[in-house]
């Protein structure tokens, strides 16, 4: 059972809505849309056909999450450089651990 979380004011400037999340639902979508617009396409970020081959090879070599042992579905760049595809820089992760790894990236910008 998880502890009750107190509601607080939405972090979106000027919004007075109460939420248990960082942003209220309408502003959460607006912030995510703005973030996605600044990210660029997957190809622009370095995820191209070469990456698809590297990713498949890594998941075949290490099919389980290297953190929790669950089935891995994503490959993470430890140094966050999508062009650094050296084997020691790649980590097979389940979706949950990958989200945990990158959750702070969304709010740092």
pLDDT in tens, 20-73: 888 898 888 888 877 777 777 888 887 889 999 999 999 999 999 999 999 999
Domain annotation covers residue 69: yes
Tell me the CA end-to-end span of the chain in Å, nearest whole number.
Answer: 33
Whether residue 54 sits in one domain with residue 34: no
Cα–Cα distance, 75 to 58 (Å, whole number) = 7
Q: What is the pLDDT of residue 38?
A: 76
Length of the chain: 109
Residues 6+ apart with CB under 8 A from 79: 89
Q: What is the pLDDT of residue 107?
A: 57
pLDDT > 70 fraction of the chain, expressed in percent and rounded: 90
Domain annotation covers residue 2: no
| Domain total in the chain | 2
Domain annotation covers residue 3: no
Domain annotation covers residue 44: no
Query: What does pTM read for this prediction?
Result: 0.62
Whether residue 58 sits in one domain with residue 101: yes
106 band by pLDDT with thresholds 50, 70 and 90: low
Whether residue 79 sits in one domain with residue 30: no
Whether residue 58 sits in one domain with residue 103: yes
Whether residue 104 sits in one domain with residue 61: yes
Whether residue 102 sits in one domain with residue 60: yes
Which of the pair, 38 or 19, is modelled with greater confidence? 19
Q: Which domain holds residue 104?
A: 49-108
């Amino acid at each position: 059972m998880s502890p009750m979380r107190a509601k607080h004011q939405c972090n979106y400037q000027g919004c007075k809505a109460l939420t248990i999340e960082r942003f209220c639902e309408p502003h959460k979508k607006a912030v995510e849309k703005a973030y996605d617009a600044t990210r660029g396409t997957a190809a622009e970020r370095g995820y191209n056909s070469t990456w698809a081959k590297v990713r498949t090879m890594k998941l075949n070599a290490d099919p389980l999450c290297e953190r929790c042992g669950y089935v891995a579905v994503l490959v993470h760049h430890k140094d966050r450089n999508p062009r650094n595809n050296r084997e020691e820089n790649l980590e097979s992760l389940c979706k949950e651990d990958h989200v945990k790894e990158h959750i702070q990236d969304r709010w740092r910008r």
